[in-house]
Structure 1
Amino acid sequence: MTCRELTDFIMEYLEGDLDPVIRRTFDRHLEECPACVTFIESYRTSISLGQEAFGCGDGSPCEVPEELVRAILNATQGRGPETTSGGCGCGG
């Protein structure tokens, strides 16, 4: 698994929804790539901070303002991560 592929599966990984075979491949990549470990940790932190900001840190679904969703989609549509590598900065 490359760093870019890891970013494709990140939500399924964090939610525990990955196929067991893909999960093992994902975990093996993390064992070998400290940059992706850092990326995953910062992603988890971002999710947690977002939940706290919207008052849903208790695990309940958050209501995200439609304007925010549109702004994020407009900003990211057609663009990948801001690095020249797989998205995490390790070059893989």
Structure 2
Amino acid sequence: MNCDELVELVTAYLDDALDPPARARFDQHLEECDGCENYLQQFRSTVTTLGRIECDDLDPGFRNRLLQAFREFHS
């Protein structure tokens, strides 16, 4: 597995949705790549932080910009 593949699979990894061979390749890559290990930890931290924010707490303009950024990232 390379870094680009890991980035594509990170949400499935965190959701425990990878099949055993893919999870093994993911874990192997993490052992060999400090950059991806850092990326995974930052991603986890971001998910945890965002999970604490209520939608009603976000400024509507900021919410729209955030959603647009996610859409652009996935396109």
TM-score by length of 2: 0.78
Matched letter for residue 14 of structure 1: L
Instruction: After TM superposition, list the pairs within 5 Å mapping 1:8-87 onto structure 2.
Output: 8-54=8-54, 67=64, 68-69=66-67, 71-72=68-69, 73-74=71-72, 76=73, 78=75
Aligned length: 67
Q: SS at the partner of 1:53?
A: coil
Determine which structure has greater relative contact order: mean sequence separation of CA pairs < 8 Å that are 6+ residues apart, divided by chain length.
Answer: 1
Unaligned segments of structure 1, at least 5 residues = 56-64, 79-92
Unaligned runs of 5+ in 2: none
For the pair 1:3 / 2:3, whether they are aligned, the reply is: yes
- 1:53, distance to aligned residue in structure 2 (A): 1.5
Q: CA deviation at 1:77?
A: 5.3
